[in-house]
Amino acid sequence: MSELTLRSKILSGVFWNTVQVVIYRSFSFVIKLVLARLLFPEQFGLVGMASVFISFIEVFNDIGIAAALVQRKEEDLREAHFHTSFWSGVVWSISLYIFIALVVAPLAAIFYEEPLLRSIIPVLSIGVLSSPVNLVHKAQLTKAMDFKKQAFIENAAHIFSGVLSLMLAFAGAGVWALVFNAVASFLVAMPLYFRATSWTPKLIWEREAFSDIFGFGLYTTATNFFNNLINKLDYLLIGKLVSASALGAYTLAFILTDIVKNELMNIMNKVMYPVYGTVQDDLKSLKSYYVTIVKYNSLVVYPIMLLWIIEGEPILLTVFGAKWTEAVIPLKLLAGSVLFHMMVNSNTTLVRGMGKARLEMKLQFWKALLMYAPLLSAGIYFYGINGAAMAFLVIKFLSVFIVQVYMKILIDYTFADLFRAMKVPVVASAIASLVVLGLHAVANVHFIISSGILLMIYTLIVYKMMGQDIAVFVKSLKKEKKLKT
């Protein structure tokens, strides 16, 4: 694939992934807003409890098959790999679902002392059965970097599930409105994925093909398990040691910070993962792409996190109501942790794209064992949800230094490279924050006005510092468009 073609596919992928996230998240935000007003923190907490237990089983759902299909070079894949992957996934997912319904649901109900979880978890886990049916189709579309079709399918599915959950909430279904919002989308997505790829499974299963895929997927699955432990340990401990109401408040704070960050990163990660696989032997290109991703992801995420840190309390209480007061401090602390996380965002995607799944697994294992488990446990035990958020702030700060060590080894990415990548978002954030904090110190400025001022100043500084880069980027887009025509 030529450099021009690859850049064109990257730009197209970023555009369609952005379309998907903007439509889905805008609609999803409205859904969450309405549900937060109709329901209570305790009901959000119940779904959070169920999701924790389910997530640890779902990690093993595709046993890394999709990631392996995308990472492998085209010449190393045969038709048997796809059929073997499909049937292996289907058989495995059925086994997992039975285990969830018969073992995980009762165990979760006992662990949290919430009998309703016995009924919620089997319904919430229906997605376990649908995931392997679509995994080959998703892998094929991702490998071809056809994100336009994926955007259409995912948005159609999520809009359907969102409308259904609203109807259930208004009908008085309570917690079940949240449950069905999480699982109904696959009913729409499944037939659309089959139509998008025109691929249908055949009764083919080959031991050699399974070994090829599973060898890479094994490390990827282990990595996903440790990632899930990192991401869900706080939910697990808060639900057990504090309360369902506290978990509901913490969940909302996490949604408003980490989910925003994750969605933006997913736009780039879905596009860049196959790209990293394509150029995995070219260290110069890998470093160039990684620097660009860190910089532009941070440029977009930083102003959003600044809003939560400076204006989080009035925004939260005005939009969601006074019943969510407990979420204010975690919201601010988690937003601060995201600022540090963005300095090294997408590093695991690079490691996996280079084919170093074993290294990625080891890194996540040691981070889970030495940082996440002890710091989150101590924070939650002594300070509840505020302690959990503070632990995340410390962890993300330490992670910057850890990631820099192995990125220097892998692609010669130094602290000087990091400072250059983060210069614009950090300077723009500092100036915009000082101006708005100064306004609050001398005058009683409404949070809508001060939020607008913050975003305006941030944007102007970014444009001032990067105006030339933006002009060059636009010029390159026009040039590529002419060459394609």
Orientation angle between helical segments 357-367 and 207-241, nearest 10 degrees: 20
Distance in angstroms (rounded) separating the CA atoms of residues 179 and 121? 9
Which distant-in-sequence residues (6+ apart) come within 8 Å of 460 by Cβ?
none
Which distant-in-sequence residues (6+ apart) come within 8 Å of 453 by Cβ?
435, 436, 439, 445
Which distant-in-sequence residues (6+ apart) come within 8 Å of 203 by Cβ?
83, 87
Distance in angstroms (rounded) separating the CA atoms of residues 155 and 21? 8
pLDDT > 90 fraction of the chain, expressed in percent and rounded: 23
Q: Report the phi/psi class of residue 126: left, alpha or beta, with left for phi > 0 and alpha for psi in -120 to 50.
A: alpha
pTM of the complete model? 0.68
pLDDT of residue 210 exceeding 90, the answer is: no
> Over the range 247-265, which residues count as b (16 or more CB within 10 Å of their CB) and which as e?
bbbbbbbbbbbbebbebbb
Cβ neighbours of 342 (radius 10 Å): 25
End-to-end CA distance of the chain: 18
User: Which burial class, exposed, middle or buried, applies to 237 when counting CB atoms under 10 A from its CB (0-12, 13-18, 19+)?
Assistant: buried
Contact present, 108 and 121 (Cβ < 8 Å):
yes
Gyration radius from the chain CA atoms:
23
H helices present in 144-206, as ranges? 147-170, 175-183, 186-197
pLDDT tens by residue, 255-266: 888 766 776 676
Contact present, 21 and 151 (Cβ < 8 Å):
no
pLDDT of 435 reads 94
Which distant-in-sequence residues (6+ apart) come within 8 Å of 481 by Cβ?
none
Distance in angstroms (rounded) separating the CA atoms of residues 405 and 227? 20
Orientation angle between helical segments 175-183 and 41-58, nearest 10 degrees: 30
pLDDT of 361 reads 80
Distance in angstroms (rounded) separating the CA atoms of residues 228 and 46? 19
Collapsed DSSP state (helix, strand, coil) of residue 202: coil
Distance in angstroms (rounded) separating the CA atoms of residues 342 and 336? 10
Among 21-30, 88-97, 300-309, name the one with the lowest average pLDDT.
Answer: 21-30
Tokens standing for residue 224: 């996903």
pLDDT of 376 reads 93
pLDDT tens by residue, 359-397: 878 888 888 889 999 999 999 999 999 999 999 999 999
Comparing 6 with 331, the larger pLDDT belongs to 331
pLDDT tens by residue, 396-444: 999 999 999 989 999 899 999 999 899 999 999 999 999 999 999 998 8
> Over the range 121-143, which residues count as b (16 or more CB within 10 Å of their CB) and which as e?
bbebbbbbbbbbbbbbbbbbbbb
What does the DSSP 8-state code read for residue 259? I
Distance in angstroms (rounded) separating the CA atoms of residues 36 and 324? 9
pLDDT tens by residue, 158-180: 777 777 777 777 777 766 766 66
* Mean pLDDT, rounded, of the chain: 79
Q: In which band, very low, low, confident or very high, does the pLDDT at 459 lie, cut at 50, 70 and 90?
A: very high
pLDDT of 392 reads 93
pLDDT of 240 reads 84
Comparing 473 with 416, the larger pLDDT belongs to 416
The Cα angle at residue 58 between residues 56 and 97, in degrees rounded to 5: 110
Domain boundaries, the chain: 1-241, 243-485
User: Which burial class, exposed, middle or buried, applies to 107 when counting CB atoms under 10 A from its CB (0-12, 13-18, 19+)?
Assistant: middle
Collapsed DSSP state (helix, strand, coil) of residue 136: helix
